[in-house]
Amino acid sequence: MLPFAYRVFQTIVQEHTFYRAAQTLNVTPSAISHSVNQLEKELGFPLFIRNRTGVELTPDGQTVLPLIQAIINAEDRLQQAAANINGMNAGSVRMGAFSSVCINWIPPIIRQFKQDFPQIAINVEQADFSSIAAAVKTGRLDLGFSALPVSEKLTVLPLVKDEIYCITPTDFIPANRTTVTAADRTTVTAADLVDQNFILQRGDYDKDTKAALDHYQIRPNALRFSIDDQSILAMVEAGMGMGILPELALERVSGNVNVYPFDTKFFRTICLVVNSEQAKAPSTAKMIAAITDYVTAKYPDKVLAHPHVG
């Protein structure tokens, strides 16, 4: 069975303080300290550095983190396999998702998954692309949604291509607009973007959005940053600049703005990133199947793959 000290180590890394780790594990802070001291004694080096905000891993602690996480994940897979053999369909799934997936995809996916597998616990963490990939790589998350390209060495499953649009105030008129409504799909061209300011999400700027901005030679000093998609729309509506948002991000946010395609099409490719070891866990395999089934049903003409992992 898994040494309790490994669970303590994992929980401290997640909670960043001994006190919160004790609350999560429902033990006393002294029990947490004792467990850490014993583990450090066995390993022969300190694992944590205390600071004013909590604790952080030492360099040696960073080195052993993926090894201890792999042991914990293997134990969890063993317990899941035993539960499945006994007909319980138990286990857990830890997944990461960025904002627009959290809003638009996660609720219906989890709703159906809980109907099919009520005994499997689900934990969802919202983060940016790179943070999700890094957490999946270490095994802290089993799988996550990201966007290509993915630099981490992970199993990558492309899902759909998500077109990127230009968001403008309602009084903006593209140079090649021929009708009085935005629904005519008039495109935005380079001439329309001269001397315009753009409001972006900083976390997405380095990938697909940057490709569009570079194509149209938008100056860095013309960029402003906001915290989320809805804030971008509010700032565009107030006339503070233009926005660049993918189609999925526009599904459940609203504002009195116009949405135009660019004359050169840009896309982000939404994908799943999966830890190859965790993909062997029955609960993770079931979630991957549920996600790909959902995407295939929702986007029958846009889905990129029908993968099977595990």
Q: What is the pLDDT along the chain (310 residues), one digit of tens a residue?
A: 678 888 899 899 988 899 889 888 888 888 888 889 989 988 999 999 988 888 999 999 999 998 998 888 888 888 777 776 655 566 889 999 998 999 999 999 999 999 999 988 999 999 988 899 999 988 889 999 999 988 778 999 999 999 999 999 999 988 876 554 545 568 899 999 988 999 988 766 667 788 888 899 988 888 888 878 888 999 999 999 999 999 998 988 778 999 999 999 999 999 999 988 888 888 898 999 999 999 999 998 888 865 444 4
pTM for the model:
0.71
Residue 109, Cβ neighbours under 10 Å: how many?
A: 21
Does residue 149 have a cis bond before it (omega within 30 degrees)? Answer: yes
Distance of CA 163 to the CA centre of its chain: 18
What pLDDT is stored for residue 205 in this prediction? 62
Question: How far, CA to CA in Å, does 285 sit from each of 71, 264, 306, 309?
Answer: 19, 38, 14, 7
Cα 24 to Cα 22: distance, rounded to the nearest angstrom: 5
Asked whether 165 and 260 are in contact (CB, 8 A), the reply is yes
b/e burial code for range 123-150 (CB count within 10 A of at least 16 → b):
ebbebbbebbbbbbbbbbbbbbbbbbeb
Cα 239 to Cα 172: distance, rounded to the nearest angstrom: 10
For residue 204, with 0-12 CB atoms within 10 Å meaning exposed, 13-18 middle and 19 or more buried, which class applies? buried
